[in-house]
Structure 1
Amino acid sequence: MKAINLADKLSQFSDHWSPRIVGQYNGNDLMVVKVEGEFTWHSHPDTDDFFLVLKGEIDIEMREGTVTLREGEMFVVPKGVEHRPVARQEAHLLLIEPAGTPNTGDAETAAEKVAL
């Protein structure tokens, strides 16, 4: 057992929109991801979607409006709500979701989650 340094984990890769699993918590994947540009519109029918900004700024666009998140801020998109994360410049996030949950809500279009 040892502490997990998120900055160290983030320094180990450079690609965007490809979450890396850094731990597990009660059946949930704890992931870091680098993002830049627009992600696809999607929803998760069975789970909420948790975002915590570690570095930078992102917009969580929803059909009902947009939530802007800055460093240290978090937001939970309720299950079933269609949304699209957008980062105008590179941002680093911590994501928490049930293990095996596809990041697009659809296993056929989801990015593969890699363990670090």
Structure 2
Amino acid sequence: MSTILRTPPLAGGRPPRWDSRRRAPPASASLPPVEKVNLAHASTDLPAPGITRPVGTLHGQPVHMVRLTGTGPWCRHATGDALFFVTRGTLRVELRERTVDLEEGELLIVPRGVEHRPVTDSEALVLMSAPSLEGEAAGQSPAP
């Protein structure tokens, strides 16, 4: 077994590549502000079912609160996963091969490329995150 030997920097020379002091941390002025979100307050601002209220972004994907009723369209996201977190009511997420029932406090992450649609028998309040549908196939899709 060989041992890697690291030589100390030369006097007056630059620090070695593995030195953590080599780069300064990024300026905090370029970082977005960190704000908390009160989900109870965000849900009271929803005027009608289907209208979303943005609450932030995560990894470039919008995160929003929405009241869902009825059956949503089939959709598939090619660029990211979809997240459904039920804060009030119940939600059924239909996949082509099975159905997942969610109750308050439960969440489901649908991997990218998996076709799905949300269904509710009564109104459900859901925190959702999914990539935008611009440039992706959305709406009714034929059965496989």
TM bucket (normalised to shorter chain) is: 0.7 to 0.9
TM-score w.r.t. the length of structure 1 is 0.79
Matched, 1:83 2:116: yes
Partner of 2:84: 51
Partner of 1:24: 57
- Root mean square deviation, CA, Å: 2.0
Deviating above 6 A after TM superposition, structure 1's stretches of 4 or more consecutive aligned residues are none
| Whole-angstrom distance in 1 between the partners of 2:101 and 2:75 | 18
Judge which range, 80-89 or 17-26, deviates more.
Answer: 17-26
1:26-41 counterparts in 2 under 5 A? Answer: 26-41=59-74
Structure 2 gap ranges (5+): 1-33, 140-144
Determine what percentage of the aligned residue pairs are the same residue. Answer: 36
Distance 1:3 1:23 in 2: 10
Q: What secondary structure sits across from 2:92 in the alignment? A: strand
Structure number having the greater strand percentage: 1
- Corresponding residue for 2:104? 71
**Map of 1:102 onto structure 2:** 133
Contact residue 46 and residue 52 of structure 2 kept, 8 A: no
Q: Deviations over 1:44-95 (max 9, x none)?
A: 1221111100011000001101000000000011111111100111001111
Please give the TM-score of this superposition, normalised by the length of structure 2: 0.65
Is residue 46–residue 66 contact of structure 2 (8 Å, CA) maintained in 1?
Answer: no
Instruction: Choose between structure 1 and 2 for higher RCO, CA contacts under 8 A separated by at least 6 residues.
Output: 1
Q: Which has the higher helix share?
A: 2
Query: In the aligned structure 1, how far is the partner of 2:61 from the partner of 2:97?
Result: 28
Q: How many residues align?
A: 105
